[in-house]
Amino acid sequence: MKIVVIGGTGLIGSKLVKRLQSKGHEVLAASPNSGVNTITGEGLADALKGAQIVVDVANSPSFEDNAVMEFFQTSGKNLLAAEAAAGVQHHIALSVVGTERLQDSGYFRAKLAQEKLIKESAVPYSLVHSTQFFEFMGSIAQSGTQGQEVHISPALIQPISSEDVADAMADVVLGSPVNGTVEIAGPESGRLSDLVSVYLKQVKDTRKVVIDAKSKYFGVELDDKSLMPAAGARIGSVKFSEWVKTASPPQAH
Ligand SMILES: NC(=O)c1ccc[n+]([C@@H]2O[C@H](COP(=O)([O-])OP(=O)(O)OC[C@H]3O[C@@H](n4cnc5c(N)ncnc54)[C@H](OP(=O)(O)O)[C@@H]3O)[C@@H](O)[C@H]2O)c1
């Protein structure tokens, strides 16, 4: 089967491509670096020729409100139109648990717009809603940084390892379209401020975490339900406490 992974060079995309290849599928890791751009349309029709399945794990280079909305709307429209023309039978996209509850954030408004395009398109689909990736902890810390302090909400969170996300995505990709949403999460919940503290300590980052219920998570004030999955979510196996021992500081770009 030919499977195109849009964003196939990213954190989740690269792990997913390996899993699908190991099961014997023809997998195209599509991204601007490999000549496929869902914003300009470059290389898209050629990439989708003969594909039965398309997975969208691309992300916007900018999280600024207007830029991220423009990214997910333009990318979604171009991709779904190209899929309809190519006769693609299953579109799978990765979004975030609680997206519909997090609408004070420009990023999550853009993810909801992406989901709406998918639901309205004629291509059968499966949406995967994941909780935050362990690997995103550094970005969360960065977003709450004020000088030498990191202001973080103590809201509950149940983050997941990127390996568990890729495993779940591979199963959904190779299953039938659910024309709905499946949720995935890590095995343990904890307070966001605690997990950020543990992460920063591990990577020898001396910034001080300040527990601040009013501090916003990418524009949203959180409560204990905001980021948490519903009962029945698929639960991964890697614990944050195990993963964090292997965490290294984010690479400087
Ligand atoms: N971070 C979290 O905790 C979290 C939680 C739940 C869901 N998600 C969702 O998971 C998805 C994947 O996230 P990730 O962290 O794996 O992303 P990532 O590592 O930032 O990778 C993004 C990918 O998108 C590609 N891309 C960027 N612009 C593109 C374009 N115009 N056309 C085609 N591809 C393009 C990039 O290609 P290049 O390498 O060529 O630039 C790269 O392969 C996102 O949609 C995000 O919303 C994230």
For the stretch 119-136, pLDDT in tens is 999 999 999 999 999 999
The Å distance, Cα 13 to ligand 1 centre, comes to: 8
Which structural domain, as residue segments, surrounds residue 221?
2-246
For residues 155 and 215, give the distance between their C-alpha atoms in angstroms, rounded to a whole number: 10
Q: What is the pLDDT of residue 102?
A: 98
Ligand 1 in contact with 6 (CB < 6 A)?
yes
Q: State how many domains the chain has.
A: 1
Q: How buried is residue 22: exposed, middle or buried, by Cβ count under 10 Å (0-12/13-18/19+)?
A: exposed
Q: Which CATH number covers residue 39?
A: 3.40.50.720
Query: Predicted confidence band at 96 (pLDDT cuts at 50, 70, 90)?
Result: very high
The pTM score is: 0.97
Q: Whose CA is nearest to atom 24 of ligand 1?
A: 58
User: pLDDT digits over 20-78, tens only?
Assistant: 999 999 999 999 999 999 999 999 999 999 999 999 999 999 999 999 999 999 999 99
Residue nearest to atom 34 of ligand 1 (CA): 31
pLDDT band at 144 (very low <50, low <70, confident <90, very high): very high
Q: What is the DSSP letter of 237?
A: S
**Would you say residue 89 lies in a domain?**
yes
